[in-house]
Structure 1
Amino acid sequence: MNAPVWLVNRLRRLARRRTPTGWFDAFAVGGMLLLAWLVFDTMPAGPHPLVVGPGTVDFQGAQRLELAVVSAAPVVMCRRRPVTALAGLLVGAAWLTALGEGSTMSLVGAGALVSVVAASRPRWIGLAATITTFAAWTVLEFAATPGGPTPYGRLSNAVLLLAVAFIGGVLIRERREHGRALREQVAASAVTAERLRIARELHDMVAHSIGIVAIQAGAAKRCISTQPVLAAEALEVIETTSRETLTGLRHMLVALRRAENDRDSGAPMPGLDSLPALADNAARAGVAVRVRFDGERRELPAEVDLSAYRIVQESVTNVVRHADTGQCSVAIAFRPREVVIEVLDDGRGGLADAPRAGGGFGLAGMRERVSLLHGSFDAGPRPEGGFRVAARIPA
């Protein structure tokens, strides 16, 4: 027997596809062939009477196989049009029953399609498909045995099968929707985390530079008429700091725009090795920063190195802007499993904390950085005066 042309073309198209959808369609064709074989294997053999009229029929093996393939053919549409596939399969089952070649396997295949409908369509459509399939199953059972005993046993099996198919499809649909919701939630969380990271970077980078610019601009304004040399030095600091800030912002924008696989563009982010330059900038703003390293220095993970630098940078910025003191100390201790950061000043202490905690994001940003790295953070006035910032970061 020659295979139908549409089936040959369908198989050729599936063979050329390499997508997950193509694999699903290939499974659908395989399911159709399996159902056709089961229907063929369970068809009544030999001469038997027609159901729709007088007379007998006696289909041979090739003819019976063609009938089975045609009746099961709608299964190939189960991915794109599951409702149409179910309707076509029920029509095929009715056609076979009318010819006296009815098979229970056609109705079992319809039950499987009920599960597909319930999993891919709204719940009311799945429920309507289940009820329609049971009604058709009942009619075909009575039509196949006219005048015979009522097939209560087979109908009860049909109820059980269709109920399991409908519930299974609904559960699959709900699990898919739940997975989609989780993925959307994870994506939203990732976007929020990235926004917070960018906000912290911008704050730590810009706040430090703007603080120095503001102080130097005020100094230049006060002495421009009486001490022009000092005013010129302050303006030079403003120019240098502004250029460095613009460079840092440009590098950040490049890093945000570049592709994930482009590792060569942009400049490396600052780390603890950049603390001398940070101390020089603070000195230009009138605050001497003493940096001390304890323990054996080692290479730190990039995120730890950057966060440690940002914590020191923000702490020094707060000293420059709020502490009203001319010096502070920075201690970096390398422990076996962590890095300990401590920044001390002898400025206004508790008074300095008010603007920091009231309207700024410096302390909150430092605390977020340390929390993301599973460390501990503490900041507050010192009993002997001044302010202390301390962080412990696992590394």
Structure 2
Amino acid sequence: MRTSPRRQLISDSVLAVVMTAFSLLFALSVGPHTAVEWEGLTALPQRPADAFSLVLIVCCTLPLVFRRRWPFLILAATTVPVVVLNVLDYSAGLGDLAAMVLLYTVATQRGLALSVLAAVLVMAGYLAGALPGNQQLVWTDHAIIVVVTALVWVIGRTIRLRRAYLGELVDRADRLERAREADTRAARAEERSRIARELHDVVAHHVSVMTVQAAAARTMLEKDPQVARDALVSIEEMGRTAMAEMRSIVGVLRTDGPAERGPQPGMHDLPGLVDQMREAGLTTQLWLEGEVRQLPPGVDLAAYRLVQEALTNSLRHAGPAARAWVTVRHEPSELMVHVEDDGRGLVLKRENGGKGHGLVGIKERVALYGGVLRIGPRPGGGFEVRARFPLKDR
């Protein structure tokens, strides 16, 4: 988990203050004779700390407060006072340690080229300040400095690469999660659209037929009660059929158990559909051409729903004296469905605002199976719906 910038600034401020305090204490307490007491070495020509050197020591460590914001610039700026202190034989305190901290910061937060340049800058500052005045140092001492510098750089680069790798893994997981959510939303939208089409086809067809028959029953109630009674019986049967189909469709939405689903209607149910239209008052004729064969389930249902929606629109909009024709042609490579009427459905549809989901559902069904659809007025008057469904060779 990443640390907030405010907490990073606080921690860097504490680090800078602590290192500055210890650096000043080290410069004031450690002199040239201290090395003799510790190591038994010859006293080094080191000047005692004064105000000038203490200011330079502060300039070496206190800028660590901004080490995460401008690490390379801070490293370049602090290298100068370290070199000046070493050249003038002052104690640099913890200035060399601060340079290592800055090198580590550059290696972890900047690119390869800048981190290499930072390592070169650290070594150049060490050589410029240490070699001229420290003749007591041997080549092993210099080798240790080189090894420590390289080790700090390698650790910083390793941490940077690991962070980048983990960040890429997190980004990839986020992308996969977003893609999965998008696929889920698309699947849900497609399923909702399919259920909406099914519900519309069932409800619009049966309710339209029931409305026409109810109007006929109301008209004939006093003139011919028997005709009205037959119409009411037909309305009852149509209502039961509509409820059964709606129960089958809505059952798909249940999650507490398997839905009770009956077989979906298909082109073999067209004669019954045509009879329903005739009973509702729409003179309808059906022609079947070509060799009838078994259709793919999706095409079979889509073609049936197309005929159902087209006849329902003819019943609602074509007028009381209109006639409708349904032509189904089976060909080796395609299925052609043509529904037409001689009424004035286009005029009525414009008067009603042309609103509805039936034609949209037809277009979606035909497009889903790669078909070609034409909807519009007939040349001789009336309205027609023509669709061609491609069939794969079997």
Distance 1:242 1:146, change over 3 A: farther
Give the aligned partner of residue 301 of structure 1: 296
Give 2:388's aligned residue.
392
CA distance in 2, matches of 1:150, 1:225: 113
User: What SS is found at the alignment partner of 1:190?
Assistant: helix
Match of 1:119 in 2: none
2:182 maps to which of 185, 193, 199 = 185
> Secondary structure of the residue that 1:149 maps to in structure 2?
helix
Structure 1 counterpart of 2:29: none
Q: Cα gap change, 1:284/1:224 in structure 2, threshold over 3 Å: closer, same or farther?
A: same
Distance 1:184 1:356 in 2: 40
1:276 partnered with 2:286: no
- Secondary structure at 1:370 match in 2: helix
Can you list the C-alpha shifts for 1:268-318, whole angstroms capped at 9, x where unaligned? 000001111101110111112212222222211111111110000000000
Q: Match of 2:224?
A: 227
Unaligned runs of 5+ in 2: 1-104, 110-118, 120-139
Matching residue within 346, 353, 356 for 1:350? 346
Paired residue for 2:360? 364
CA deviations 1:353-383 (Å, max 9, x no partner) are 4268722111111001111222221101112
Question: After superposition, where does 1:72-83 map in structure 2 within 5 Å?
Answer: none
Give the direction of change, closer, same or farther, for the CA distance of 1:358–1:326 in structure 2 (3 Å limit): closer
Residues 147-186 of structure 1 mapped to structure 2, 5 A cutoff: 148-151=144-147, 152-186=149-183
* 1:251 equivalent in structure 2: 248
- Distance of 2:255 and 2:261 partners within structure 1: 8
Residue 284 of structure 2 corresponds to 289
Task: Give 1:376's aligned residue.
Answer: 372
Between the two proteins, the alignment pairs up a number of residues equal to 262
**8 Å CA contact retained: 1:318, 1:356:** no
Identity within the alignment, %: 36
Quote how far apart the aligned CAs of 1:154 are: 3.2
Q: In the alignment, is the contact (CA less than 8 A) between 2:318 and 2:343 conserved in 1?
A: yes
CA contact (8 A) 2:366 2:373 kept: yes
Aligned to 1:278, the other structure's residue is in SS state: helix
Shift of 1:215: 0.8
* Structure 1 residue ranges without an equivalent (≥5): 1-126, 132-137, 139-144
Amino acid at match of 1:161: T
TM-score norm. by structure 1 comes to 0.60
Between 1:304-313 and 1:148-157, the stretch displaced more is: 148-157
Using the TM superposition, give the Cα deviation of residue 259 of structure 1 relative to its aligned residue in structure 2, in angstroms. 8.4
2:71 corresponds to: none
User: Which residue number corresponds to residue 120 of structure 1?
Assistant: none
Pair 1:334 & 2:330 matched = yes
1:349 and 1:216, CA in 2 relative to 1: closer, same or farther beyond 3 A? closer
Q: Is the 8 A contact 2:375 2:385 kept in 1?
A: yes
> What is the CA–CA distance in structure 2 between the aligned matches of 1:391 and 1:239, rounded to whole Å?
33
**Superposition RMSD in Å:** 3.3
SS of match in other structure, 1:341? strand
Deviates more, 1:275-284 or 1:225-234: 225-234
Q: 1:376 to 1:356 in 2, by over 3 A?
A: farther
